[in-house]
Amino acid sequence: MSSALIHTSFYRFTPLADPEAVARHLREICAHVQGSILVAPEGLSGVAAGTAEHIAAFEQALLNDAPFAGAFTGMAFKRSSCNTAPFARMKVHVKPEIVAFGVDGVTAVASDDTHVSPQAWRTLIQRDDVVVIDNRNSFEYRLGRFEGAIDPQVDNFRDFAQWVQARAPQWREQGKTVAMYCTGGIRCEKTSTWMQEQGLAVRQLQGGILNYFQSLPDAELDWQGECFVFDNRIAINTRMQETDTTARQVYDPASPDEAWRLTRALRLDAATDE
């Protein structure tokens, strides 16, 4: 791959009658980009990297190619720069869910709109009646977070529901609004409807951290640190630029959940350099 690379991330919750057919066409249009894409009956989620020309062509194919039948029309793309090649190859997989929450029957295909724009989010998280939740892993939270955000300290996204259920009665009693965010928005979108069913007033940052960085030139006023990205770049700053942070600085080898992540990151990094 060229040294001039662009990274794009995207997702869309939308019913897909034939995920296998969608995956087949995706493999056809991915000849010049690398990354990872998940396809499921509830939609699509992916990341890709390539030259600006190839990424633009790939994004347009997702939006407009006839085999997708308009399923991804209007899907947002969040772009960032690369000094390091983020991926060594392209992988397209069909899964039961594009993000596994661990609660049967939860989907965001027909969820109520709880999105808050980056501009409105800045005001929302300053309110005294708002609880701000970081809906990511603890190692991501340590690296960077919104001021005042809570780390649920769960090792797996599947444990998030139990954490919320233990605190929901107190939040309801106090009349709190739960404002949550994640990297690109997909985790929050998957959980928002379920959280409303728990009787909670919920708001989520539209497009996640990446959209916040992309939308606000002064995002550093509200954001502390860097943002972890799940590829060989490791982290980006509020300007959507790759930083010098390494996997060894992110993961705690004394934590079983993080030790295997560190091993995998070092292995993937070696594979990219080959």
Average pLDDT over residues 97-118: 81
DSSP-based three-state secondary structure for 9:
strand
Q: Is the pLDDT of residue 2 over 70?
A: no
Q: Could you give the CA distance from residue 85 to residue 48 in angstroms, rounded to a whole number?
A: 11
**Token pair recorded at residue 115:** 């999105």
Tens digit of each residue's pLDDT (9 = 90 or more) over 38-72 = 999 999 999 999 999 999 999 999 999 999 999 99
**Token pair recorded at residue 94:** 């069909």
**Contact 268/85 with Cβ under 8 angstroms?**
no
30, 82, 182, 188: the catalytic one is 182
Give the pLDDT score at 273: 55
Tens digit of each residue's pLDDT (9 = 90 or more) over 4-41 = 899 999 999 999 999 999 999 999 999 999 999 999 99
Q: What pTM does this model have? A: 0.92
Backbone angles phi and psi of 231, in degrees to 5:
-155, -175
Domains and CATH numbers, the chain: 5-94 (3.30.70.100), 115-261 (3.40.250.10)
User: How far is the CA of 76 from the CAs of 9, 167, 175, in angstroms?
Assistant: 8, 33, 33
Backbone angles phi and psi of 43, in degrees to 5:
145, -150
For the question of residue 188 being annotated catalytic, the response is no
Tens digit of each residue's pLDDT (9 = 90 or more) over 155-188 = 777 788 999 999 999 999 999 999 999 999 999 9
CA angle 219, 243, 6 (to 5 degrees): 85
Q: Is the pLDDT of residue 199 over 50?
A: yes
Give Dmax over CA atoms of the chain in angstroms.
Answer: 56
